[in-house]
Structure formats: C-alpha cells, structure tokens
Amino acid sequence: MKKAAIIGAGIGGLSSAIRLAVKGYRVDVYESNKSYGGKMKEMSMKGFRFDMGPSLLTMPEKLDELFYLANKNPRDYFSYSKLSEGCRYFYEDGTVINGYTDSKKFAHEVNKKTGVSEKLIIKHINKNLFLFDSTSFLFLEKSLHKIKTYFSFRVFIAFLKLPFLQIFESMNTVNKRRFNNEKIIKIFNRFATYNGSNPFKAPAILNSISALEFNKGAYYPDKGMFSIASALFKLCKDLGVIFHFKTTIEKISVENNIANGVFVNKEIKFFDVIICNQDIYFVYKKLLPQRYVLKSFLTQERSSSALIFYWGINKDFENLNLHNIFFSNNYNEEFKNISENNQIYKDPTVYINITSKMTRKDAPNNCENWFVMINTPNDKGQDWESLIAKARKNIIKKINRVLKINIEDYITCEELLTPQLIESTTQSFRGSLYGSSSNSRASAFFRHPNFSNRISNLYFCGGSVHPGGGIPLALSSSKIVDELIS
C-alpha cells in the first residue's frame, strides 16, 4: 500500500486526505494544533458559540463532491441551506440595502433604495457571471503550471476571451464607469476582500467573485461553519485516515530530488507522497533544504489580514441579519491605509456575522453572538496593541452611529483574533488570510504551483498556493493535487 503524509489539517489538508484515501493510500495527517480545521475553528464562551474563521460558504458542491467520491451521502455528514439574502449593507445616512441573492430581487431593492436602474444592475451581474464562467475552468480547476493544461479546448477558448476579461483595469475603475452611485460601487468593490485584495488595485476580472453570491448563491451550514471541518474530519476517519495532532513536521526529507519522508521529533518517517497544507512561505523557510528555496516566494506581497472581536451580546437586533456590512464613508482611504500605509483607517468598514440568527443555540435566549471583523494590513511589525485599542474604539463608534445605540452596554464577554494570532495559530505568514495578494494582473500565474518543479513526490494545497485562499479554492487545490498525483 502506498503511503501519503499530509502536513496540516486545514481545509486543504483534510480534503487532500480524503482524496488520497479514496485513491487507496494509507494517509497520515500531521497537525501542530490539538485539533483539525486550521483557520476554520470554533470557540465557546459563556454560553455563546463562535465560528472564529470563515463565515461565508460558497460553492458547497465542491464539498459534496468529496463525499460522493467516497460513495457516501454528504447529508449524512452535514447539511446547508441557500441564503435568500447574502449580506445586508448599512450606510451612515440610514440607507440599508438587502443583498438578495436573487439578482432580479436585488436589482429591484437597489432601484428602490438608490434610484440606480434595475437594468444596469442586472447587466453588471450578467457581465460578472460571464467573467466567472469564462475563467473559472482555467483559473480554479486546473494547474496553471502544466503545459498540458493549455492544450485543452476549454482553456484555449478562455485564452481567446482574455482581451474581454478586464485584466488591464482595476475593479473600482470598471465599477465606477458603470455606476454613478457610491453605495453601489462599494457593494461591488467589496468582493475584492473575498481574497484579501484591494479593489482600487485588483484587476477587474475579480468582479467575477460577485457571481458567487448573486448567481451561484451564498450558503450557510445548518450547524455553523465549523461543521464543515467536522464533517470532513469524520469522513477522513471513516476512510481510515490517521491523525497525529500536536505534532509539527520539522523538515521534509529530500534525496536525489525526491521527497521521501518527513521529520517528526527528529525521527524520519518514510512516505511515497508528501502534501503540504502549510503556508508555502514557511515550507520554504523551515521545511525544505536550503538549496531548494525559491526566493521569489519569500518576497511576494501577502494578502490582507483581519482583526476580529467575538462579542457575546445580551440583546436581539431585529434589523441585523446573518451577514452585515457597515460601510466606511471613504472606502478608498480605508484601502490606502491597509495596503499602502500598513495602518487601520479611523472609519473602517465593519462586518458583523451573527450565526445565532440561523443556529439559535449559538447564543443564550434574547442574546446574539457577534463576530465583528475589519480588514487590516498583514503583520509587518506594527504596534498592534495601540492599533487594536484605537480600532476597537472606532468600531464601537461606527456601530453606535449606524444603529443609534451604545453597543458597549450590551457586550457581556469578548475574545479577540489578531494578525499576529492568526500567524501563530495557523502558521500563516504575516497573518494574511489568503496567502499571496491578488492585487496584480498576473498574480494568478505567480502563485505557487500545486507541485514542485524540482522535487518529485512533493505537492502543495491550501490557500497559500494555486488557485488561492477561501474554502472553495482550497478545495480546488486538493482536486488539482489529486489529478497531478494520478
């Protein structure tokens, strides 16, 4: 029986373990933490449960695919429902726009609240869907770094469409040209943050991300986001995958340019295949022999990070939904601060996720579990203590202005996740959420491939490598690895 080692039990690692176990490998997963999930983890505090990492599920069919592959019914493991409203958008002048996932309903809502024509909205959504459909096969499903990818007819067609895919303009430039309304531009610019980019720099091809919500749909797992990791873990166990928690891989053994094992507690364990779910930066920095280090991957710009407050709130807010955004009055300044000045803007866009709206037992009666997040620069050694203290004050001021309350009166308990903690708990360089940044035109091609050019039997999955961060893309990375191993 062939043997595979997987380094890390994040979503990329768990999905790779399932794929290799289905292939007939004996799979050993090594994870530094005491449990699985990586960035997808949960926490409980004083009767409140919180999903600490990802909060939005898109493309759930990529998860279901893993269960079908193993001849299992995904619904025996976890279930999810489609949301009728993706996000609720709040502005300081009192406007509230419900982000219905049905595009016609959304267009009607936008027209009612802002006067922007329904036709314009529908046209924009359809153009973004065209971008998504034209590019997803090439950019999300295949290795961009294998010649044979380019001999596929679908990829050839995607290349023919490239001149129409807006890679030479920023998202903001295109959105501004199409809409003469700041509120709507902010809604569509916001999708850049789904992979930690800056809409004022990122190529307009990333407008395709909005197709996920308005066309493909936004979803919620009935028992919260962590139930995804738990379902994948259970499937792994059912397939006989062996887990080694609290076990950090110290080095990958390479002989004659072949990866043949991993070092655990200074002892070598031999394997036929090694798949790294660890952030690629640290794979080069710590795991591989010096002669294989590719400096270009140590110097790439990283995606943004986040500051999250988990608040137990002893009040029900009927005007809030599962996903809520309170927009900054100056989105441009906010992103300049994040990506150019490495600072946090004084009027940040605040995202509030409340899973107790869907999973009632996530909070005690008449209470809500608030996950309050702002985008931040990644960790470049800023004075985080002072930045966080200021940001907390500014977040509270913002919430108070929009909801016309004093939110501090309702906070009963608090926990915090910072860029530094994201790095230390998931070994993600600089605490960036989505690996390297997607702010440049060619960033998709510069992401690390899912294999090594110089070391055979070594593969890479997860958010720091191709095709990128986020649950669906991490799942795609494992599928590409699976195909490469075939």
Ligand X SMILES: Cc1cc2nc3c(=O)[nH]c(=O)nc-3n(C[C@H](O)[C@H](O)[C@H](O)COP(=O)(O)OP(=O)(O)OC[C@H]3O[C@@H](n4cnc5c(N)ncnc54)[C@H](O)[C@@H]3O)c2cc1C
Residue ranges in contact with ligand X by CB under 6 A? 7-12, 30-33, 38-40, 53-56, 248-249, 277-278, 306, 308, 422, 426-428, 433, 462-463, 469-471, 474
φ and ψ at residue 54, rounded to 5 degrees: -60, 145
- Which token pair is 1? 């029986």
Nearer to ligand X by Cβ, of 37 and 74: the residue is 37
Q: How far is the CB of 413 from ligand X (least distance, A)?
A: 19
Q: How far is the CB of 11 from ligand X (least distance, A)?
A: 4
Nearer to ligand X by Cβ, of 116 and 471: the residue is 471
Directed axis angle between helix 103-114 and helix 182-189, to 10°? 150
- Which token pair is 196? 């930690």
Nearer to ligand X by Cβ, of 402 and 475: the residue is 475
Location of structure tokens 């989505």 = 434
Burial 465-486 (b: 16+ CB within 10 A, else e): bbbbbbbbbbbbbbbbbbeebe
- The number of CA neighbours under 13 Å toward the Cβ of 305 is 26
Q: How far is the CB of 321 from ligand X (least distance, A)?
A: 15
Interatomic CA distance for residues 370 and 152, integer angstroms: 46
Nearer to ligand X by Cβ, of 9 and 387: the residue is 9
Nearer to ligand X by Cβ, of 10 and 74: the residue is 10
Answer yes or no: are the C-beta atoms of 343 and 373 closer than 8 Å: no
Q: How far is the CB of 420 from ligand X (least distance, A)?
A: 13
Instruction: Count CB atoms within 10 A of the CB of residue 129.
Output: 19
Q: How far is the CB of 406 from ligand X (least distance, A)?
A: 26
Nearer to ligand X by Cβ, of 249 and 407: the residue is 249
Q: How far is the CB of 374 from ligand X (least distance, A)?
A: 11
Nearer to ligand X by Cβ, of 166 and 477: the residue is 477
Nearer to ligand X by Cβ, of 56 and 313: the residue is 56
Nearer to ligand X by Cβ, of 265 and 365: the residue is 265
Nearer to ligand X by Cβ, of 114 and 457: the residue is 457
Residue 25 CB partners (closer than 8 Å, separation 6+): 1, 2, 3, 4, 272, 273
Answer yes or no: are the C-beta atoms of 450 and 480 closer than 8 Å: yes
Q: How far is the CB of 464 from ligand X (least distance, A)?
A: 6
- The number of CA neighbours under 13 Å toward the Cβ of 221 is 24
Nearer to ligand X by Cβ, of 74 and 86: the residue is 86
Q: How far is the CB of 5 from ligand X (least distance, A)?
A: 10
Nearer to ligand X by Cβ, of 39 and 127: the residue is 39
Peptide bond into 60 cis (omega under 30): no
Cα–Cα distances (Å) from 42 to 39, 55, 228, 443, in that order, read 9, 11, 11, 31
Interatomic CA distance for residues 89 and 71, integer angstroms: 41
Q: How far is the CB of 123 from ligand X (least distance, A)?
A: 27
Nearer to ligand X by Cβ, of 114 and 478: the residue is 478
Answer yes or no: are the C-beta atoms of 339 and 35 closer than 8 Å: no
Q: How far is the CB of 128 from ligand X (least distance, A)?
A: 18
Q: How far is the CB of 343 from ligand X (least distance, A)?
A: 19
Q: How far is the CB of 330 from ligand X (least distance, A)?
A: 24
Answer yes or no: are the C-beta atoms of 11 and 475 closer than 8 Å: yes
Q: How far is the CB of 104 from ligand X (least distance, A)?
A: 25
Instruction: Count CB atoms within 10 A of the CB of residue 444.
Output: 20
